[in-house]
Amino acid sequence: MLQCSSALYGSRNLSDIEIGHRYRLLIDAVQDYAIFMLDPAGNVTSWNPGAERAKGYAPDDIVGQHFSVFYSDEDVAANKPAQLLAAATLQGRAEDEGWRVRKDGSRFWANVVITAVHDENGALLGFAKITRDLSERRRLEELERAVGTSSLVQQARENEQKRIARELHDDLGQQITALKMTLALHETELVQHVGTDAPGALRSVRELAAQIDTMAASLRRIAADLRPPVLDDLGLEAALEWMTEAFEQRYGVSARCEIQADALRLNDLAAICLYRVVQEALTNVARHAHANHVSVRLSTENRQCHLRIRDDGVGLPEDFPPRGDAFGLVGMRERILLLGGVLSVESSPGNGVTIDAQVPLSRILVKDQA
């Protein structure tokens, strides 16, 4: 930096040299910002360690090169480097934010400030350029946008499933009930007018009635899987207890639900996301685990909500994680991510599977409880 300053500003007295030395030490100590000088044509004349760290060039590689090497081909073709220098010359300062290119060709998102440097007579000596790597900030912003979009998509999907479940229960359910009542009426008339003289017809009517009962039960189960009424009416804790009981009855696998949390008033997104994680995990147990027992535990501690699903089945295969989303784990992680949490999976062949999710309470409680 001192060499550049000497070239730009000419001879100095001892005080100026001391000030310049301290300034160089300060600039060289900065690691988080690329700080360097350009001559009036835009060629690099100095280079600090922060610049080397951010852009990947050693001083010998870059000093003397035009600063357009830091810009993408698209920006160079659009004459952006020259436009920034022109703006800094005219206005004294130019600021920009966009993609920049490292020595290895990788890109990073940067905030750039270019300041024109003049001598005491106002003649342009060059430019001071400060670049800050904002890649992490941009990644977090993009993640927030993605999570926000996913949240909207998730909410829309759940609303649609809720609507379908209501239609199945109300419309189709009523039609099945009416059909069963009509069939019962025909059975009564058949007994009254024919008696036992037509056992085949009577048996057919009763078999049809049994099939309708089976259809109605299946319909209720499908509607509940789409959107369990107990979740909306009584909350997540009751819904998890209902789900584990229904799982045990349906599959013959011992299932236990343990709630170690004060009454949680969860927002709608949190309730359905946590419910779906347990639902997917129990589906995996039924399909793949060959388990004798499964437990679901919901607890709170240190302002965190903990959800654990554990089974004693065969465990995940040795080549886990599988390609794609064969076990629904990607979907589980995405749901927990929507709530600002993390999900982990532990398993070894023959030792079952444990799924742990941890979510901050501040993200899942209704506002007046958080």
User: pLDDT of 293-323, one tens digit each?
Assistant: 999 999 999 899 999 999 999 988 776 665 5
pLDDT > 80? residue 347: yes
Q: What is the mean pLDDT of the chain?
A: 80
Ranges of H-type helices in 92-198: 135-167, 173-193
The partner residues of 254 in beta bridges, in order of sequence, read: 293
pTM: 0.49
State the pLDDT at residue 13.
47
pLDDT > 80? residue 355: yes
Residue 307: closest CA among 255, 246, 359: 359
| String of DSSP letters for 178-205 | HHHHHHHHHHHHHHHHTTTS-HHHHHHH
Round to whole Å and give the CA distance between 137 and 276. 31
In the chain, the N- to C-terminal Cα span, in Å, equals: 53
